[in-house]
Amino acid sequence: MTTITYPLSRIEGHARVVIDVYDNEVFRADFQAMEMRGFSHYVRGVPAEQITVIVPRICGVCSTAHQVASVKALEDVFGITPPPLASDIREVLLLGQLIQNQATSLFIFTMPDRTNASSLFELSQSEAGKAREFSLAQMALKIRKIGTDLITLAGGQFIHPIKTVIGGVSSGIKREKADQMILTIQELLPVATELVDIYWEMSMEMGDRIGSWGDDEPTHYLASTEANNYCLNSQRLRVMQPDGTEAPSFDPHDFEAYLQIAESEYSYAGVSSYMGQILRANSLARINLTESLGTPRADAYLRRFVQTFGKPAHAIMFFDLCRGIELVYALEKAQQMLEGDLEHGETEVGYAPKDGTGFGLVEAPRGPLIHRYEVENGLIKTADFVIPTVHNMLAIRRALTVAAKRYVGPEGINAELERAVGRVVRAFDPCIACATK
Amino acid sequence: METSKDLPKFAVLQLSGCSGCEVSLLNSDEWINNFQLVYMPLVVTSNKIPDDVEVLLVTGGVRTDEDIHNLRKGRSRTKKLIAVGTCALSGGVAQFKGNHIARESFLKASHRLRLPDMLPNAYPIDRFVDVDLYLPGCPPTPQLFMTALKDPENAKIAAIVCQECGRQKLNDMRPTSITGPRSGVVLPDICLVNQGYICVGTSTRGGCGALCTRPGHACVGCRGPANPYLNKEPKFVLDNLRRVFARMTDIPAEEIDAVLESPWLSLFLGQFTDYTQEADLPLRTKEKML
Ligand code: SF4
Ligand code: SF4
C-alpha cells in the first residue's frame, strides 16, 4: 500500500490530505486537522459573562460569528431578547464578516488555482494579471477591506469585535460614519462585480480544461438562512434533501436530534452527519436553499447560476461561484441597511444573570454555527461549539475520494492529483482552528 | 513598476494560533509594493521557507513538536525574526495558567493516530529561538505591522494607551461601583475609569491608537504591560493598576482585584510577565519591544 500525504496551503489552519492507494486503486482518502485549539476545554470554569471576550479568539477568521453566537447563547440562558436595532447592527457586523471571508476565499485562496499560480500576488504579477488595468491583488484586498471596515464600524474592533454585548449592542452607528461607508461601497461595488466576473470566467475555463467540476452526487444541504430572507443573524436550521425537497426545519435547541457529531480517530476535527447521512454546509447549501436574495445585482447572478447549473446544483466547485454571488449580495445588503437609521433607538436591554443552558445560532460564512453553554453558579460548566466545517467533513472526504479515483489508475498516480486535492479542500473553505474547538 | 523579484523577501510562519494576526496583516496592502512575500501558507502555496529571507514573522504559540521543528528551521533561514501577537509572546489563550480542570480535560482529549501530539502547554517562541523584535497585540493593527516591517528602529510608540486615547481624566468624578466590564452607557470624552469601567489603558503599552477606548470600550490590555513592567513579576503591573483605581475611584479594592485577576484580563496582563517565572529565558528588553 502507498500512502501519499499532501500538506495544504491557502486554507485557515494546519491540515493535510492523506490518500492510501493499494494496487493502483484508491483505498481511502482523508482530510486531517493537525492541531487542536481546544476552546471547549479552556472555557470551563470561566465566568459566563466573560466568555464573549474569550471565544472570538477561537479563530481570527471567524471571530465575529463566534462573538455573536456566544452573546446569543447567553441571552438564551438569561431569557432576554435584544431590541430590533441591536439585531440590525449585528446583521451589519455579520455581513462584514461575510464580505471579508468570501473575498479571502475567492481571491486569496482559490483564484490562484484557476491559473495554477501559487498565490494571488504571483497571479497579479503574471502576464494574465498584468493585462488588466488594475492590480488584481490590490483590488481584491480593497474589496476584502470593506468587510473589515464594516466589522470595525458595527463591531468596534477590527478582528475580535467588542460592541455586541449581552442584551444588545453597546452603541448605534452614527449617520456620518454610515454615509462614509456607503460611499466606499458605492465606489467599489463595480470593482467587486468585475472581480466576480473575472473569477466566474476563469472558473468556466478551468472547468473546461479539467473536464469536471468535482464530486456532484446529490447530498443533504444545511443552512439557517431563509428562502426569501438571507438573514445571517438567524433563528432556525433548514435542510434540503438530495432530491431538492426540504425536510422540516428545526430549532438550535433540538440540534442533537438531527445532527450527529462524533470524534475522529485520525483528525483533531470531529465529523457530523444529518440523521446518518453526508451533508454539506457553506455557500452552495445556502444558495440551493434560496429563492431570492432580495438585492438586484446578487439576484441577477443567482438567476444566471440557476439557469446555467440548475437547482439544486451539486458539483463542489459551485461552492466557489456561490461565494461570488454572496460577496455581491453582502455589499448591496450592507449598503441598504446603512441607508436606514441605525443610530437612534434602544440599543440594549438589561438582564439579570442566571444559571441554565442556552443555545446561540448564527449563519457564519461556512454555515450554521451553534454555541451551547451550561452555566452553573455563574461559571461555564460545559461549552459545546457546533462548527460548520465539521458538518462538511464527510463531504470533503467523499469529494477527495472522487478526485483521487479520477487521477489514480493503472498508469499510476497522475501529478494533477496534488492540485485537485487543493481545489477540493478549498471549495469547502474549511477552518481548522474552529473545527478543533 | 519594479518587479517584485527585486524586493526584499519576507515570510510568515504560523504556529498554533487563530490566524487573526495574518488577517490583520492582510488588512494592509501597503507591503505589496515594498516586499516580496515568499512564504505564508495561509495565502501562498510554497512548501518551504527559502534560505535568504530578510524578515520572518512568527505568529502563534508553540503547541506541538512540529511547531518547535518549524520554528528552529525558520530561524536558521532568516536574518531577522519578529515575534508577532500574544500567542507567540506568551502561548496565548492556549496556556492553562492555574486552570487544572481545563488542562486535564484538554490533555485527555488530545491524542490521535498518526498525528503530532499536543505538548503539555502552549509556550512562547523565545523559549526555543532568539527573537530580534517583539510585536505584541491581539492582533497588532495593520499599521503596527507596517512599522515592524519598514522602520522599527525609529518608531515612536506611545508609552501607554492613555496617551493616544484623548479621553480626559476628571478629579471630581469618582465611581463607587464597577459599571462594566462591557456594558452601560458611555459618555464621550471622559476617561472610562471615571465612568467605572475597568480600563487598563493606564498600564498598557500604546501603539494601537487607542483602538478600543476611543469608541468607548475599556482596554483589555492586549498590547501588554508598558515598559516599566517588562521582565517583572505580574504583581508589579497589577499593583500599578490597583493604585490607579484607588486614586481615581471609590470602588472597593476586592471588586477591582476580582476583575483584574479574571481570565480575560490576566490573559493579556500576564503576557510578558508569566514567563519571567521560568528562570533561564532571555530578557525581553524595551529596545526589542515595539
Ligand atoms: S484609562 Fe482608559 S479611558 Fe482613561 S484615558 Fe486611559 S485609555 Fe483612555
Ligand atoms: S486599546 Fe487596549 S485592548 Fe484595544 S487594541 Fe489597544 S491595547 Fe489592545
Of A30, A20, A114, A23, the residue nearest A419 (C-alpha): A114
User: What is the β-pairing status of strands A367-376 and A379-386?
Assistant: antiparallel
Regarding the beta carbon of B193 and ligand 1, being less than 6 Å apart is answered: yes
Mean pLDDT value of segment A68-96: 96
Residue in A46, A60, A156 nearest the CB of B20: A60
Contact state of A44 with B101 under an 8 Å Cβ cutoff = yes
> Per the structure block, which three cell numbers stand in for B243?
493604585
- Please give the residue of chain B at the shortest CA–CA distance from A166: B183
| Strand spans (E) along chain B | 9-14, 36-39, 53-59, 62-64, 78-84, 118-123, 133-135
Q: Is the dihedral of CA B263, B266, B272, B273 positive or negative?
A: negative
> Residue A366: its pLDDT value, please?
96
Regarding the beta carbon of B202 and ligand 1, being less than 6 Å apart is answered: yes
Whose cell is 480517530? That residue is A265
Structural domains in chain B, CATH included, are: 4-155 (3.40.50.700), 161-277 (no CATH)
**Contact with chain A for residue B17, Cβ under 8 A:** yes
Regarding the beta carbon of B213 and ligand 1, being less than 6 Å apart is answered: yes
User: How many contacts does A have with B, using Cβ atoms within 8 A?
Assistant: 192
Task: Give CA–CA dist B270/A408, Å, rounded.
Answer: 52
Contact state of B105 with A265 under an 8 Å Cβ cutoff = no
Mean pLDDT value of segment A50-67: 86
Distance B256 CA to ligand 1 centre (A): 16
Question: pTM to 2 decimals?
Answer: 0.91
Q: Name the burial class of residue A296, with classes exposed (0-12), middle (13-18) and buried (19+) by CB atoms within 10 angstroms of its CB.
A: exposed
- Decide if B128 contacts B168 (C-beta within 8 A): no
Q: Name the burial class of residue B3, with classes exposed (0-12), middle (13-18) and buried (19+) by CB atoms within 10 angstroms of its CB.
A: exposed
Q: Give the list of residues 6+ apart from residue B64 with CB closer than 8 angstroms, or none.
A: A34, A35, B16, B116, B117, B118, B119
∠ CA A214-A216-A220, rounded to 5°: 130
pLDDT digits (tens, 9 = 90+) for A364-414: 999 999 999 999 999 999 999 999 999 999 999 999 999 999 999 888 889
What pLDDT band is residue A42 in, cutting at 50, 70 and 90?
confident
- Decide if B160 contacts B191 (C-beta within 8 A): no
Task: Give CA–CA dist B265/A102, Å, rounded.
Answer: 32
Distance B226 CA to ligand 1 centre (A): 14
Contact state of A165 with B114 under an 8 Å Cβ cutoff = no
Task: Give CA–CA dist A292/A307, Å, rounded.
Answer: 14
Task: Give CA–CA dist A292/A249, Å, rounded.
Answer: 19
Residue B181, preceding peptide bond in cis (omega within 30° of 0)? yes
Q: How many CB atoms lie within 10 A of CB A409?
A: 12
- Please give the residue of chain B at the shortest CA–CA distance from A39: B94
Tens-level pLDDT at each residue, chain B (290 residues): 345 667 889 999 999 888 889 988 888 777 777 888 899 988 888 778 998 899 999 999 998 888 999 999 999 999 999 999 988 998 776 665 666 777 777 777 777 767 777 787 788 999 999 999 999 998 999 999 999 998 888 889 999 999 999 999 999 999 998 886 445 578 889 999 999 999 999 999 999 999 889 888 889 899 999 999 888 888 889 999 999 999 999 999 999 998 888 777 777 877 766 555 555 677 788 899 99
Amino acid at B173: M
Residue A312, preceding peptide bond in cis (omega within 30° of 0)? yes
> Residue B188: its pLDDT value, please?
87
Whose cell is 521582565? That residue is B231
Of B110, B96, B109, B101, the residue nearest B61 (C-alpha): B96
Q: Which ligand neighbours the alpha carbon of A156 most closely?
A: 2
Query: Which H helix or E strand runs over A381?
Result: strand A379-386
Q: Which atom of ligand 2 is nearest to the CA of B207?
A: 6
| Per-position DSSP letters for A70-139, written without gaps between them | HHHHHHHHHT----HHHHHHHHHHHHHHHHHHHHIIIIIIIHHHHTT-SBHHHHHHSHHHHTSSS-HHHH
Q: Which residues of B260-275 are buried (b: 16+ CB within 10 A; e: fewer)?
A: bebbbbbbbbbbbbbb
Q: How many CB atoms lie within 10 A of CB A287?
A: 29
Average pLDDT, chain A: 92
Regarding the beta carbon of B147 and ligand 2, being less than 6 Å apart is answered: no
- Please give the residue of chain A at the shortest CA–CA distance from B215: A156
Of A33, A96, A102, A136, the residue nearest A387 (C-alpha): A33
Q: Which of B186, B195, B199, B204 to mutate to test the pocket of ligand 1 (most atoms within 8 A of CB)?
A: B199
Q: Which ligand neighbours the alpha carbon of B164 most closely?
A: 1
Total domain count, chain A: 1
Contact state of A42 with B112 under an 8 Å Cβ cutoff = no
- Please give the residue of chain B at the shortest CA–CA distance from A18: B114
Contact state of A37 with B21 under an 8 Å Cβ cutoff = no
Q: Name the burial class of residue A79, with classes exposed (0-12), middle (13-18) and buried (19+) by CB atoms within 10 angstroms of its CB.
A: exposed
Contact state of B26 with A54 under an 8 Å Cβ cutoff = no
Of A394, A403, A387, A415, the residue nearest A13 (C-alpha): A387
DSSP secondary structure letter of residue B204: B
> Residue A128: its pLDDT value, please?
66
pLDDT digits (tens, 9 = 90+) for A284-305: 999 999 999 999 999 999 999 9
Q: Does pLDDT of A70 surpass 70?
A: yes
Residue in B17, B43, B183 nearest the CB of A165: B183
> Residue B132: its pLDDT value, please?
95
Q: Give the list of residues 6+ apart from residue B172 with CB closer than 8 angstroms, or none.
A: none
CATH number at residue A80: 1.10.645.10
Distance from CA of A224 to the nearest CA of B (A): 25
Kindly list the residues from chain B whose CB atom is less than 8 angstroms away from the CB atom of residue A158. Answer: 24, 27, 141, 211
Distance from CA of A331 to the nearest CA of B (A): 17
- Decide if B43 contacts B68 (C-beta within 8 A): no
> Residue B2: its pLDDT value, please?
41
> Residue B98: its pLDDT value, please?
62
Amino acid at A223: A
> Residue A134: its pLDDT value, please?
72
Question: Which protein residue has the closest C-alpha to ligand 2 atom 8?
Answer: B222
Establish whether this prediction's ipTM goes over 0.90: no
Question: Which protein residue has the closest C-alpha to ligand 1 atom 5?
Answer: B162
Q: Give the list of residues 6+ apart from residue A187 with CB closer than 8 angstroms, or none.
A: none
Q: Which residues of B45-76 are buried (b: 16+ CB within 10 A; e: fewer)?
A: bbeebeeebbbbbbbbbbbbebbbebbeebbe
Query: Which H helix or E strand runs over A238?
Result: strand A237-240
Question: Angle A136-155/A84-103 helices, nearest 10 degrees?
Answer: 160
Q: Which ligand neighbours the alpha carbon of B207 most closely?
A: 2
What pLDDT band is residue A133 in, cutting at 50, 70 and 90?
low
Q: Give the list of residues 6+ apart from residue A303 with CB closer than 8 angstroms, or none.
A: none
> Per the structure block, which three cell numbers stand in for A189?
461595488
Regarding the beta carbon of B191 and ligand 1, being less than 6 Å apart is answered: yes
pLDDT digits (tens, 9 = 90+) for A4-28: 999 898 988 888 999 999 888 898 8
Q: Which ligand neighbours the alpha carbon of B20 most closely?
A: 2
> Residue A256: its pLDDT value, please?
93
Contact state of A118 with B23 under an 8 Å Cβ cutoff = no
Regarding the beta carbon of B57 and ligand 1, being less than 6 Å apart is answered: no
Contact state of B101 with A45 under an 8 Å Cβ cutoff = yes
Contact state of A265 with B64 under an 8 Å Cβ cutoff = no
Choosing among B33, B40, B43, which should be mutated to test the A contact, i.e. which has the most A CBs within 10 A? Answer: B43
Contact state of A57 with B20 under an 8 Å Cβ cutoff = yes
Of A12, A3, A52, A7, the residue nearest A31 (C-alpha): A7
Contact state of A109 with B109 under an 8 Å Cβ cutoff = no
Query: Which of 166-205 (B) contact A at CB < 8 A?
Result: 181-183, 186
Task: Give CA–CA dist A225/A232, Å, rounded.
Answer: 6
Distance from CA of B195 to the nearest CA of A (A): 15
pLDDT digits (tens, 9 = 90+) for A170-199: 888 999 999 999 999 999 999 999 999 999
- Decide if B164 contacts B208 (C-beta within 8 A): yes
Containing domain of residue A113, as a range?
Answer: 2-435
Kindly list the residues from chain B whose CB atom is less than 8 angstroms away from the CB atom of residue A433. Answer: 17-19
| Per-position DSSP letters for B263-287, written without gaps between them | HHHHHHHTTTTGGGGSTTSPP--GG
Task: Give CA–CA dist A8/A277, Å, rounded.
Answer: 27
